[in-house]
Structure formats: C-alpha cells, structure tokens
Structure 1
C-alpha cells in the first residue's frame, strides 16, 4: 500500500513538473529571423486563433505526457496489489482450455486499463470539442472508443497467444520464434489496414470531384504510380482538422483525402498535398516503414525477453507469478514493451521527420507551386490549432513531421526558384 501511495504521489509530482515546463519553462517564441516571414503565425492567424493555438497545444501536450506514465502506473498497480494473480486464478476456474484462459485474462486486463484511462481520454475528447477541433458527438466518440477496445483486445489476444506458446516451449529463444511469426503478421496488417480496419471507423468512397480526380490521376501518372482511384473519407462528421495520407501496400495501397481538406483547400493546394503523399510511394517510404517495424520488433522482443526474465527473478514471487509462462506475468511484459516503445519513439520520429521533409521536397519539385504549398500548411495550422514552434521536448517525443516553422520556411525558400513565368521574365529584363 505504501509503494502504491508513493507511485501515486510521484505521478502527481511528475504531472505538476510537466505542467510547469509546458506553461512556463518551454521556449516557444519565434526566432527573430523568422518574424514577418510566411512561417510567422501572426501573418496568417488572428489574435484569437493565436491564443487558442497556444492554449490547445499546451493542454494536448500535457495530456500526452500524463497518459504515457499512467499506463505504466496501471500495470504496476495491477501487479503490486496482486490483481494480476487473482485474475489469472479466476479465469482458470472457468474452463480447462488454456486458449480461453488467455482470452479472458486479456479481456479483464484490457478492461481494467480501459476503465482507468477513460477519464483522461474523455478529458482529451472534451478539450478537442471545446476548441472546436472535434465536432463528434459523445455517442460517436464512445462508439469509436469501443471499436478501439475490441480491435485492441483481438490483436493483443493473438499476440499474447503466440508469445506465451513460445515462452512455454522455448524459454531462452522464445523471442526469436515470436519474431519470425510476427513478420508475416506485420506484412498482413499492412495489407488489411486500409480495407478492413479503417472502414470500421469511417466511410470511404471514391473522390466525388471528377475534375480534381483527373488532375490527381494525371499527377500520379507523371510520378509513374499505377493509381486508378483516389479516396475520400467523411471526417467532417468528427473533426475540423485537415489531413491526407497514404497507407497499405501492394494492391491495397490507398491515397486518402479527408473531406475537410477538400472543402478548405483549393485545387493547387490539394495537388501539392497529393504530390506529397505520392512522394512517400515513389521513395518507398511505406516499404521502409515495414522493414523498420520488423527490425524494431526483433530488437524489442530480444531486449524485452532479457528484461522480463530479470524482472521475474527479482519480483516474480512478490507479484505471485509462478514462472515466465504464467499468464499473470502479462502486465510485466506489457510494461516492458511500453517502456521500450517510448524510448524508441524519438528515433522513429527523427526518421519519420526526414521522410516527411523528403516528401515535401518531392511535392514542391513536382508541382512547382510554393505559394500553394505554403498556403496549404498555413491552413493546416489554423484548422488544427497547431503550434508553429513547439517546445523541444514536445517535438522530440511527439513530432513525426517537421514543425510547421520548418515546413513552411523550407517550402517558402522555393518561391524565387518557381516564380510565375511573367515575374521571372520581368526579373530578367530588370537585370539586363
């Protein structure tokens, strides 16, 4: 009980420190050399939007930095109070089938975690509603939360079944066998994500604007992408933010535009966004992400197995865990993998930011429309109340894209290279 209290007090102190850093300690002022430039938010946002952007960003970042250790705290409390041992014993009394034991245990643990994180997730939803980023009604948000829960349970259950099967069969090399099985599973997930999982949350349909569709497909043809369709998704039912993305691989690859993006960006801006997504395809970023995920899984399983055995040797008896193959040890594994994922996050973000900048470069060199590109990111900043120059710690842990300051400044640097033809001629005549 004392340790649980210490953990709780430590979590509260950590929350206060993060609040102080984000609201008072973080440096977010725009460097003087960028003031008055296209990246200066005062040039394209009004005073109210600037204040909303600052307040919303602070709250959103604080929620993230609270949510990560909250997950760790839940696993520690489940272990420390002996709840994991009790749940393991309870499911074994229901049936003699180990597969059912695993499914029920994962369901109980998932429910405990879902329930304890619900207040923070609900607060995050209300913040988005209050700042008019989200327009989703509570029942719609709750429906998505329940879909998240059951999809998460299914994949956790499948993963746990495989891992514990190999732990029981090969205590020393289970991580290697689990990794080998994970490879086809990861590839399979890349294939089914666009056509099976994404439609659970939103409706996808071919782009309605035929003229714009023709322009996008012409762009795809120039990029030598065998695209036959562009998809639109009805995100306006949920959010005011703008977005577009590409996911899936092979025949299931999809280029998707949110309908909010189509409503608020002009054709030139949409074409730049599409060229950016095509850049990911042309430069094989999707396949690089797939390979990266497989490699990270290998290292994660290897390190996780070593830490798992060490943790059980040190605290297993105290937690009531009979051995590595005891399902009651699952919170230990989940805690370890969560910690490793958190530590790997900044490296993944850095790689992702490089890929995003390369895609921006590809898009601007293909469209040759720096004004449209800059305008698109300015509108994205306004619609999402994004912070142009976020705190360094926030960028380090959260940003898989360059900051808006970096992106707008980079794209604006092309304005002299790709000036309209008449301006270029006038410049040449003036020089002569």
Structure 2
C-alpha cells in the first residue's frame, strides 16, 4: 500500500468510527419511545381521487428522476473511467488551477446537458399539476444559478484535492479530509445569508398574532432566533414549507408566504414548532458534524480507491493533475449515491423527533394530522412510495408515517 493510501485508510477508519459514535449517541433512532408507529392506510386519510392523482404524479416524477440519475452516471463513468475525459482536459490551456476549475465546469455542464430533457419533463409535469407558478425564464435562471453553485462547491473540493496532492502526494488525504470537514462547517454557517437569498427574497414577518406566537414558541422551546422571515415562494411554487436555518447569529425562522396566507394559524404553528424542535435539539449542529465526518470519510475512501489502475484507465498520471478531475468527480458522485441510504435514514429519524417536539409544544394532534394531510396533497406526495425508494431517497417520513407516529404517541400516553 502506498503512503497516500495508508493515510487515506487511517482517515477513513477514524472518520467512520467518529460518524458511528456521533450517530449512535445523538441521532434519535426510536421514532416513538416506548411505543411504535401505528399503521395508517391511505384510505383513512385521503380520498380515492386524491390517492390516485398523487400516486400517478409522484410515480412519473420518480421514474424521470431515476432515469436522469442513470444517464448522468453513465456520462460520468464514460468521462471518468475512460481516456475521453482526460483527453478533453489536456486540450485546456492555462495554469493548473484554472484547468482544474474549467474541467470541473465542463463535466458538470455535460451532466446538465444530457439530463436536460428529464428536467424539462419534470418541470412540465409540475406545471400541468399546478405545483409550479414560475415562468420558464425564471426556472431557467434558477438552473443556471444552481449550476454555478455546484461549480463553486465541486470546484473548491476538486481544487483542494488536486492542489494538496501536488504539494503532498504522500499525505494528501489527511490534509484534504481535515480542510473539507472545516468547509462543511463554514458552509452551514454562511448558507442562510449567502445561498438562500439567491433563490428567494425575504422580508420580516410583520408584527401580528402569527409573529408573536412564533416568537413565543421559540422562547418556550429555548431557541433564540434572530428574526422571523417570509420567503416569496409563491412566485415559484404552490407547495408549502418552513424551516429554521443557520447557526448562532444567523439562525432564523423562515415561512413560505403561501403558508402564511393560505393555512390556518394552528396548522402553521405545528410546522413552526417542528422546525424549532430541530433547533432545540441542535439538529443543524449535529447534522453539520455528521456531514463533516461523512465528507472526511469520503475523502478517505477516495484516497483508498484511487490507485494506479484507476488512474491509468482514466488517462491521468496522478491525482495531482487536472486530467484526474473527471475521475475524481465521478467517484465522488458514486460515493454520494451509495451513502444516500445512511444519510436518508439519519434524516428520517431526526425529522421524526422534530415531529414529536411539535406535538409536545402545541398539544394539537388534530392540527398536526391536518397539516400533514394538507402538505402531502399540496405537493402530490406519494402516500405509500416503494420501500427501497423511501430507504434510498426519503429524507422525511411519509405523511402516513407521521400520522401513525402521532397516534402511536397518543397511545403511549
């Protein structure tokens, strides 16, 4: 084993153990302490026509998403595991760091181009279903901004890997893993004030009963917030949402404007209490810690996997060259996909605890059930998605699971 691979193996082991310890201690794995989630049938909550419409829509979108992912992976593998990608990169001119950044953009753009037909179909389905209100030019602008953000993030990561590998080829995984973990923490801090405004305009919720009750809930839960903001989401979507984002001085409660305007206050407070439950239990901090450890583990795994055989196959001579960019990007993509079940399982457990916090803070099970029925129907969410799809990609419990959680808690009490 080469020195770089030994360093990577050490990093991988330490990060995986750290992740497992933090997850075991801080993730609330038991959704209903002392009880269980009660089974709830779709026909108990939704009408037959509602179920039919939601199932048809979500199934179509899900299959388009899978197809898009498959095509994207094929293109990534073609560029990264053959000499095609490195041959394109060799034609680029400029200093090494510029070639790295440009190569990253080209690979990302290629993925966007080949999956564009699927994105357009997903968008068209949302328009026809009445879930989107955004004109095509605005949607296209968001796609370009998203590509730019992906370039910034991926470019920084790949630039870090290639740059450190050039300087310290024997120990690059350790240095990259440490810096990447720090970048995750910094990103969590600045995301609310740098990235969120790129997609929404925010205004403070005016003084009134809702603002007073939101701030009162925050005080009761012991969650300091800097402001209660309203996002102009209705210009883009008819779905409902709210969140608490940021750490420390950047923490704020954000409500979609259509949530404020269209939903009874009792139900809105159920959602707010859920989001405050995340802050009360420091879920952003825990999630950031797990993400940092996960990124460090990913860097370690990358260092173990990237060896002479893969480099030769890709047409790159070593990790510290721009020609290695397509290979690095596809390995990160595959690793992220393989890690998705772990990430989604952790996320669902954390969301279930936030639901428990919401029920405890509001004491309003009827409003809890109504708002989750409303959220599901407004987004045409599948009441009962395929089990493997929920395992892999389901970051939240389904509406039926959430209602079953509430009823299970009621039985425990």
- TM-score, length-scaled by structure 2: 0.86
Task: Report the counterpart of residue 344 of structure 1 in structure 2.
Answer: 339
Q: Pick which of 393-402 and 319-328 moved more.
A: 319-328
Q: Please tell me whether residue 78 in structure 1 is matched to residue 71 in structure 2.
A: no
Cα distance in structure 2, aligned partners of 1:186 and 1:235: 26
Task: Report the counterpart of residue 407 of structure 1 in structure 2.
Answer: 402
- Contact 1:370–1:414 (8 Å) recurs in 2: no
Q: Deviations over 1:286-312 (max 9, x none)?
A: 110011011111111111111111xxx
Q: How does 1:31-430 map to 2 (within 5 A)?
A: 39-79=40-80, 82-92=83-93, 95=94, 97-208=95-206, 210-309=208-307, 313-413=308-408
Any stretches of 5+ residues in structure 2 without a counterpart?
Answer: 1-37
Paired residues in the alignment total 376
Task: Report the counterpart of residue 24 of structure 2 in structure 1.
Answer: none
**More relative contact order in 1 or in 2 (CA 8 Å, sep 6+)?**
2
Q: Deviations over 1:320-339 (max 9, x none)?
A: 22222221222211121112
Cα distance in structure 2, aligned partners of 1:302 and 1:402: 31
Q: Deviations over 1:118-172 (max 9, x none)?
A: 1111111112112211221111110000001111112222222111011122223
- Contact 1:133–1:384 (8 Å) recurs in 2: yes
2:133 is paired with a residue whose SS is: coil
Cα distance in structure 2, aligned partners of 1:382 and 1:40: 15
Cα distance in structure 2, aligned partners of 1:81 and 1:292: 33
- TM-score, length-scaled by structure 1: 0.82
Q: Deviations over 1:224-258 (max 9, x none)?
A: 22224211111111111111112211111121111
- Cα offset, 1:315, TM superposition: 4.5
Task: Report the counterpart of residue 25 of structure 2 in structure 1.
Answer: none
- Contact 2:133–2:235 (8 Å) recurs in 1: yes
Distance change (3 Å), C-alpha of 1:416 and 1:336 = closer
- Cα offset, 1:99, TM superposition: 2.1
- Cα offset, 1:189, TM superposition: 0.7
Q: Deviations over 1:164-202 (max 9, x none)?
A: 011122223211101111233212111111111110111
Any stretches of 5+ residues in structure 1 without a counterpart?
Answer: 1-32, 419-432
Tell which structure's C-alpha radius of gyration is larger: 1
Q: Indicate the RMSD between aligned Cα atoms, in angstroms.
A: 2.0
- Contact 1:144–1:201 (8 Å) recurs in 2: yes
- Contact 1:249–1:286 (8 Å) recurs in 2: yes
- Cα offset, 1:347, TM superposition: 1.1
1:402 is paired with a residue whose SS is: coil
- Contact 1:232–1:258 (8 Å) recurs in 2: yes
Moved >6 Å (runs of 4+)? none
Task: Report the counterpart of residue 3 of structure 2 in structure 1.
Answer: none
Cα distance in structure 2, aligned partners of 1:228 and 1:79: 45
Cα distance in structure 1, aligned partners of 2:210 and 2:114: 46
Cα distance in structure 1, aligned partners of 2:151 and 2:249: 28
1:187 is paired with a residue whose SS is: helix
Cα distance in structure 1, aligned partners of 2:411 and 2:300: 51
- Contact 1:72–1:335 (8 Å) recurs in 2: yes
1:257 is paired with a residue whose SS is: strand
- Contact 1:52–1:385 (8 Å) recurs in 2: yes
